Amino acid sequence: MQEKTSIHGAWASRWIFILAATGSAVGLGNIWKFPYITGENGGGAFVLVYLFCILLVGVPIMMAEVLIGRRGRQSPINSMKDVAIESGHSGSWSLLGWMGVLAGFMIFSFYSVVAGWVLYYIAGMGVGDFIAIGGDDAGKVFNDLLADEQTLLIWHTIFVVMVMLVIAGGVKKGLENAVRFLMPALFVLLLLLLGYSTQTGAFAQGWDFMFHFDPEQLSWDAVLVALGHSFFTLSLGMGAIMAYGSYLPKKTSIGSSVLMIAFMDTLVALIAGLAIFPIVFANGMDPGAGPGLMFVTLPVAFGQMPGGQIFGFVFFLLVGIAAWTSAISLMEPATAWLVEKFGWNRVPSCAVLGFIVWALGVAALGSFNFLSDVKLAGFNIFDFLDFVTANVMLPLGGLFIALFAGWFMKRHATESELAMKSPTLFNAWYIVLRFVAPVAVAAIFILNLIEKLK
């Protein structure tokens, strides 16, 4: 294939790509889910299993997704089509790109609703609404928010506009400028919160909760949890990483860049846990509160602590930035396709997509109030979008990316894109991608469906 250039532009450097892809990977789940599942499944022992799963599943598939994107230099839909044709296969592989783009689109529609909650809490923390608040009152604030469709609509709309404005600026003026500012800001806020957490008097308890090495808690279920999270945490299977890979300079090492992204994603999750759980323990609260930890437990904790208003604001600002950088990557693939398909510039493309995803988000937020009686396959609209994307579309996307790059793409094309200096390393990656990763993702797909449909 003749060397292509993307009509959308290119990242200025390898580090900008790493920051952008890390921003895509670091989302709401990193802030509360990974620290919690670590503490519940053996602490340090679970972290070791998780890192092993990252190396065997997450990193190989992410490398495959990036190399397909860079090879095609277009949206995931057109990259999959062109790379498949180059390899002597049907252009119908573009359907895999379509599934990824659609998955990202659907995820954004309900993700923006949750991000709207975060924006509401940023504002509430900023004006002192949670000072000295009790548990019952904090729960009432959250439940009242869910019941108030007008407030949800306002914050959902604001978040959609925030995301589409960045994407409308293109790769250079939009995505690149955003990650140059937002990712360093995220790390600074995270370290500020960590510093605050060390002064709570319960830092050692938080450390022990997350890193106490207890192999006896490492059940088979814990291994499956580690396997599943190692796949989902890197934003695989939704076209985002493939789109970002299409803007990657030719001479940039894919392997070392992906390893750095995986490292930074894991580091953020671990530091987030060390920042959050000492605050939880210092206030005698339940670290296993799940999503309620963020919107009920932590506001109470911050409300009771010296300086809590300031650092509660910092915490929700951190979560808001994580949601923003993730959401940008969810909508970039669809935007890139519209630009390629119709020759539009980004402003009308973002206006059209923004309106459609906003409307779908209105239906999702209605699940908690005016559309609560509407059911799809037994789920409300919000839960249906979550179930279909997380349990069907993303695992299938990851599975077929591994199969395509490992079995259908020409070997010389993958060797050319990865440009590994060591044939041994390339062969190891190739074997893992062809045999280990597909089996692991198939297991995630099947076991998740069984668990969810019980």
| Domain contains 446 | yes
Euclidean distance between CA atoms 34 and 226, whole angstroms: 9
59, 258 contact by CB (below 8 A): yes
Tokens read off for 212? 């106490």
Mean pLDDT of 179-201: 95
Give the count of domains, the chain.
1
- Residue 409 is classified by DSSP as S
CB 152 within 8 A of CB 113: yes
pLDDT of residue 222: 86
Query: How far is 75 from 340, CA to CA, in rounded Å?
Result: 8
Token pair recorded at residue 280: 């939880």
Residue 336: partners with Cβ closer than 8 Å, 6 or more residues away: 8, 74, 75, 243, 246
Q: Report yes or no: 167 and 350 within 8 Å, Cβ to Cβ.
A: yes
What's the rounded mean pLDDT across residues 226-245?
Answer: 92
Whether 163 and 331 have beta carbons less than 8 Å apart is answered as: yes
**Residue 73 sits in a domain of what CATH number?**
1.10.4160
Residue 9 included in any domain:
no
3-state helix, strand, coil in the chain (%, to 5): 80, 0, 20
CB 357 within 8 A of CB 109: yes
Whether residue 418 has pLDDT greater than 70: yes
- Residue 280 belongs to a domain: yes
Assigned domain for 7 exists? no
**pLDDT, tens digit, for every residue of 316-335?**
999 999 999 999 999 999 99
The answer for 345, left when phi > 0, alpha when psi is -120 to 50, beta otherwise, is beta
Mean pLDDT score, 250-266: 95
- Structural domain for 262, as ranges: 14-452
The verdict on residue 219 lying in a domain is: yes
257 in any annotated domain: yes
123 assigned to some structural domain: yes
Running DSSP on this structure, what letter comes out for residue 366? G
pLDDT at residue 414, as a whole number: 96
CB 357 within 8 Å of CB 331: yes
Q: Taking a C-beta distance cutoff of 8 angstroms, is the pair 242, 68 a contact? A: yes
| 91-96 contacts, C-beta under 8 A, 24 or more apart | 93/404, 93/408, 96/397, 96/400, 96/401, 96/404
396 — pLDDT class (breaks 50, 70, 90): very high
- Could you list the beta-strand ranges (E) of 386-441: none
| DSSP class per residue in 189-235 | HHHHHHHHHTTSS-HHHHHHHHH---GGG--HHHHHHHHHHHHHTTT
Whether pLDDT at 84 is above 80? yes
Rounded to an integer, the average pLDDT of 159-177 is 97
Look at residue 8 and tell me if it is in a domain.
no
Structure tokens at 23: 């921003």
**pTM score:** 0.95
